[in-house]
Structure 1
Amino acid sequence: MTWEPERLDDQRHLSEADPGGMLPAVAASAAHIRTGYRNAVEARVDRLAGSRPRAIVVAGMGGAGIAGDILAAVVGNGSPLPIVTVRSYLLPGWVGATDLVIAVSGSGATEETLALATQAVRRGCTLLGVGAPDSPLEAVAVQASAMYVPVPVTGQSRANLWLLSVPPIVAAAALRLVQADADLFERVAKSLEDIAHRCRPSSESFINPGKSLAMDLAETVPMIWGSSPVAAVAAHRLASQLNANAKYPAIHGELPEAGHHQVAALDGPLAERDIFADTAGRTLRLVVLRDVEEHPQVTRRREASLRLAGERDVPVTELAAEGVHPLERMASLIGLGDFASTYLALGYDIDPTPVSAITEVKARISQ
């Protein structure tokens, strides 16, 4: 697999190398925002209004699990209750009847999520399910007389991020944990439509931000930092999308924590570049996702880290979040990253949709 940037402007290649339609799926993000909101309203998630759980636990794996991180970041540090994401088979021992468990699964059949939903019912928790209609997860919810938001997930769960992430935010709005109404979701949808237009396949690399970011990342090992909880979720999402779509290694972190360990990699072997080498080796690239709500000390740490990278000739990419509401800002970073990860795959002539290694692991443990 070799990186050939000219592939990104070859319309025939972009179509033929993406038989699963990951590019169209990413471009459908705006529609997913609107559908996720409409389905949550139709499922009467607002029935949660007037209640106040002790904690919210979001159960999910992979592309569905990040819905919990999105929820926590959107609600923010001012939340009067903890919002925890559980990515495993067991609920923490403290979760009980006064807590709300939101089980999220694109397929509605994720074994870890089903295990957590079943435990939530047994413990008397309030349960909200989000996932495919007529699925095992919906069956658990129906049997427990719990709320369920059916969403029309197609293909990989990671390509349906907003279908799965919007209903928990609507639930949080019903609980008065965050201001999120129809106008907000429409603004986010329009922002994602604008990103899809600028990152469309027919837009050439020199003006296409998705292709440009893919070209930055190619032949490097990305170290992706977020400068706030909102940006950190986008950093996590970008690293995960690089793993799944482009089958590409990446690490992510959040400032200031990343400045206490990951920054040391700027002095490591991948930070060294041999200008006399016959072929370019893969080197470290620092990718910083910036947000307007940075702590002043985080801003100083970010600026110092960027200067440090520059002094060591480590290439740097900076991306700034756009928008006012935390969900708008997060979506602006995630939307661009989703396109970049797909274009990176196509530049390496990799089909971004299949995840054969994941499928093989699941098959081996089921035997």
Structure 2
Amino acid sequence: MIEERVLDNPDELARADDTEVLLDLASAGAIVRTAVRLAGEAGLDRLHPEGRPRAVFVAGHGTAALAGELLAALGSGSCPLTVLRPTTADDSAGSAIAYTSALLWNLPGWAGPSDLLIALSSTGAEPGLVALLEQGYARGCSTVVVAPADSALSEAALQTRGLPLPFLARAEAPRHRTAFPEGDLPRELPSSLWGLLAPVLVLTDLIGVVDAAPASVQAAADRLDEAAVRCRPGAETYGNPAKTLAVQLDGVLPLLWSDGPCTGAVALRFAAALADLAGRPAVCATLPEALSTQYGLLAGNLAPDPDEDDFFRDRAEDGAELRLKVLLLHRSPEPDQHPDPFADPLSDPPADQRADQQVGDWADERAEQGRTPTSRRILARARRLAMDHQIAVSELASARSDNLEAIAELVALTDFAAAYLGLASSGTADVPAGAAPADT
């Protein structure tokens, strides 16, 4: 259970946050700006590409793979952008192999000289990524690496005639936040996402694969700074959107329903942050498929009994049970333009509302992405379905017309919410690395 007194007390939060997660999240905007500057100094500003590649492959694991998913969501559609996730080595040593040493990556059989390979790593110590660079060099692929400057992966990039871009890492590695630390399992700071993503945003915009102009990247950094101010520890719970969201997610299994590629990538990041920072599960799905693929959850054992209407029952006992909650992540300004969120999803809005939909920045955005009233109807259908099964619904929406700004805004809010949920939850205590839990 979450302890709201901790959320409202900055000193309590500071004591609970011994790994300085909140400080790390607050530095995300600065990390974006510094990463872009360092990438330019490393040679990115002097790069003059001859056209765009046939395909782009982004290889990594953990936060690096999530950065690849965000990059793919931002793709302009000019060429395929594929995230390469690792497999494991088949070795007789089994679990004796260190986690990162057992990871393997492979290029598709058709990859060749017309393609670009990007390897992302916050440590640069994965032998499998080094082997992947060698594989790409043998195939004639162009290669780019984002990793610490003195790492084995950056050295491999130089040896394979690739372009190494520096990863900006904090001086101290994060301490373990779990009671049963596994020494070979990597732990990454939340801001690592932006240190890995920012340089490749500049690169892929330069080659025409992703729409991320320099002004857009700087605006995204500004959105991260704004979120750091709004979600700061000293802000009261119900004036702080991240703390408010953390309270809403206490004791629930969130169903993260997204309305497109950008919000879908944000949902994946949010689920990962909830698991890492708060020790909570979440289930991701994309609309409209979520309405059918997760209908069984809404009608299953975790859903409230639709026939239960006992006003005098002891609701304190209900709090001990895990409840479902639908969290809609979307881009359209639905709540403002359509006051009735449960209006008939199959009916068209009045003529005056249809005219209003074309006013403002969202008109151009919807025209670009081919958004139609169907998206409005699907969101209304999702709300209706949850309401019919007595499932609570919350919404996270961004009205930013720029995709990257919207992603930065939503990721910042959800990262802070996951951090507050973990820091203020009762029964959680950090144990130093290598310490065994006390016998009971």
Does TM, scored on the shorter chain, surpass 0.5? yes
| Counterpart in the other structure of 1:55 | 55
Quote the Cα distance in structure 2 between the aligned partners of 1:93 and 1:118: 15
Q: How does 1:3-82 map to 2 (within 5 A)?
A: 3-46=2-45, 47=47, 49-76=49-76, 79-82=77-80
Match of 1:302 among 379, 393, 401: 379
- Find the residue that maps to 2:164 and give its secondary structure: strand
| Counterpart in the other structure of 1:215 | 247
| Counterpart in the other structure of 1:335 | 412
Higher mean Cα deviation, 214-223 or 257-266?
Answer: 257-266
Q: 1:354 to 1:48 in 2, by over 3 A?
A: farther
Cα shift at 1:9: 1.2
Cα shift at 1:117: 2.8
**Amino acid of the residue matched to residue 30 of structure 1?**
G
* Residues 217-273 of structure 1 deviation map (CA, whole Å, 9 limit, x = unaligned): 110001101111111111111011001111111111211232230233111111126
Alignment pair present for 1:289 and 2:337: no
* Residues 103-123 of structure 1 deviation map (CA, whole Å, 9 limit, x = unaligned): 001111235434433322232
* Residues 116-155 of structure 1 deviation map (CA, whole Å, 9 limit, x = unaligned): 3332223221110002120111011011121011122124
Quote the Cα distance in structure 1 between the aligned partners of 2:108 and 2:429: 38
User: Higher helix share goes to which structure?
Assistant: 1
Cα shift at 1:173: 1.2
Q: How does 1:1-367 map to 2 (within 5 A)?
A: 2-46=1-45, 47=47, 49-76=49-76, 79-88=77-86, 89=104, 90-154=106-170, 155=173, 156-272=188-304, 276=314, 278-279=316-317, 280=319, 281-292=321-332, 293=366, 294-349=371-426, 350=428
Quote the Cα distance in structure 2 between the aligned partners of 1:283 and 1:344: 16
* Residues 310-338 of structure 1 deviation map (CA, whole Å, 9 limit, x = unaligned): 12221111011132211001111101000
- Calculate percent identity across the aligned residue pairs: 34
8 A Cα contact 1:246 1:352, kept in partner: no
**Amino acid of the residue matched to residue 31 of structure 1?**
A
* Residues 14-63 of structure 1 deviation map (CA, whole Å, 9 limit, x = unaligned): 11111111101111111011112112222223525223211000001111
8 A Cα contact 1:346 1:352, kept in partner: no
Quote the Cα distance in structure 1 between the aligned partners of 2:214 and 2:292: 40
Q: 1:180 to 1:355 in 2, by over 3 A?
A: farther
Q: 1:187 to 1:351 in 2, by over 3 A?
A: farther
Q: 1:286 to 1:324 in 2, by over 3 A?
A: same
Higher mean Cα deviation, 314-323 or 276-285?
Answer: 276-285
Q: 1:84 to 1:9 in 2, by over 3 A?
A: same
Cα shift at 1:180: 2.8
Cα shift at 1:277: 5.2
Q: 1:188 to 1:311 in 2, by over 3 A?
A: same
**Amino acid of the residue matched to residue 74 of structure 2?**
V
8 A Cα contact 1:18 1:352, kept in partner: no
8 A Cα contact 2:273 2:415, kept in partner: yes
Cα shift at 1:13: 1.8
Quote the Cα distance in structure 2 between the aligned partners of 1:86 and 1:311: 40
Q: 1:181 to 1:354 in 2, by over 3 A?
A: farther
| Counterpart in the other structure of 2:90 | none
Cα shift at 1:347: 1.4
TM-score by length of 1: 0.90
Cα shift at 1:177: 2.8
8 A Cα contact 1:101 1:125, kept in partner: yes
Higher mean Cα deviation, 296-305 or 242-251?
Answer: 296-305
Higher mean Cα deviation, 117-126 or 161-170?
Answer: 117-126
How much is the aligned-residue C-alpha RMSD, in angstroms?
Answer: 2.2
Cα shift at 1:92: 2.2
| Counterpart in the other structure of 1:361 | none
TM-score by length of 2: 0.76
Q: 1:324 to 1:97 in 2, by over 3 A?
A: same
**Amino acid of the residue matched to residue 72 of structure 1?**
A
Q: 1:232 to 1:66 in 2, by over 3 A?
A: same
**Amino acid of the residue matched to residue 21 of structure 2?**
M
**Amino acid of the residue matched to residue 224 of structure 2?**
L
Higher mean Cα deviation, 255-264 or 202-211?
Answer: 255-264
- Unaligned stretches of 5+ residues in structure 2: 87-103, 174-187, 333-365, 435-440
**Amino acid of the residue matched to residue 204 of structure 2?**
A
Task: Specify the structure having the higher radius of gyration (Cα).
Answer: 2
Q: How many residues align?
A: 353
| Counterpart in the other structure of 1:363 | none
| Counterpart in the other structure of 1:359 | none
Quote the Cα distance in structure 2 between the aligned partners of 1:353 and 1:143: 42
Q: 1:354 to 1:337 in 2, by over 3 A?
A: farther
8 A Cα contact 1:8 1:343, kept in partner: yes
**Amino acid of the residue matched to residue 74 of structure 1?**
L
Quote the Cα distance in structure 2 between the aligned partners of 1:147 and 1:255: 38
Quote the Cα distance in structure 1 between the aligned partners of 2:56 and 2:150: 25
**Amino acid of the residue matched to residue 52 of structure 1?**
R
Quote the Cα distance in structure 1 between the aligned partners of 2:36 and 2:79: 23
